[in-house]
Structure 1
Amino acid sequence: MVHEIRTDGYRRGPDSPDGTTQRLWDRHRFQPGRLIVGLVALILTTLYGGDAGGWWSTPGWVVIPVLAAGLGIAGSIALAVYSVRRRRSAISASSETTEAPARISGRKAMR
């Protein structure tokens, strides 16, 4: 699979539909919940790495409250981002047509 990557941030490759160009950074959405989980894992790794290296002493029970708080914060952020994105997509879908506005409740926005 060979991609032609240009200096302006676009690519053209076999997986682009109809040979059109696609921006490299438009492939994935930013997910702040995953960022928080990664930062919590990095913090725990640093804590126990410093303990293993002899720089400081970290009690063994520290992992439970730090991990629980990190996962709780990440879950609430992910839920908030999901609801904002869902509402924005429903609003933009209802403003694109002259039909009745999209229904926001339920799994998908319905007309």
Structure 2
Amino acid sequence: MLRHDFQPGRLVVGLTLILAGVLYAGDATGSWDIPWFVLFPVMSAGLCLAATAGLAARGIRRRRVSPDERQGVPGADPPE
């Protein structure tokens, strides 16, 4: 399997969707009663947290790029 960058924003979005699914599955089985509007704040908070995590990871990743790695990036400074 090829290695890839860790993307925490996608992880948070996935966990948020799993949480929403668990909430509604519990409501469907009768384990608890969830009002219909609960999904909106759960999804809003999850998406905002995912955006924050993604932007933080992007900022960290951009600082760690060495000048040697920038040579293959379009729009980067040309090598001297």
**Shorter chain as normaliser: what TM range?**
0.7 to 0.9
Q: Distance in 2 between matches of 1:109 and 1:86?
A: 12
2:38 aligns with one of 55, 62, 76 = 62
Q: Distance in 2 between matches of 1:108 and 1:75?
A: 25
1:81 aligns with 2:57: yes
Unaligned runs of 5+ in 1: 1-23, 97-101
**Which aligned pairs between 1:10-89 and structure 2 lie closer than 5 A?**
24-26=1-3, 28-89=4-65
- RMSD of aligned residue pairs (Cα, Å): 1.9
Which structure: greater helix fraction? Answer: 2
Q: 2:32 is paired with a residue of what secondary structure? A: coil
Which structure: greater strand fraction? Answer: 1
1:70 positional shift: 0.3
Q: 2:33 is paired with a residue of what secondary structure? A: coil
Match of 1:110 in 2: 77
Unaligned runs of 5+ in 2: none
TM-score (norm 1): 0.60
Identity over aligned residues, as a percent?
A: 45
Using CA pairs below 8 Å that are at least 6 residues apart, which structure has the higher relative contact order? 2
TM-score (norm 2): 0.82
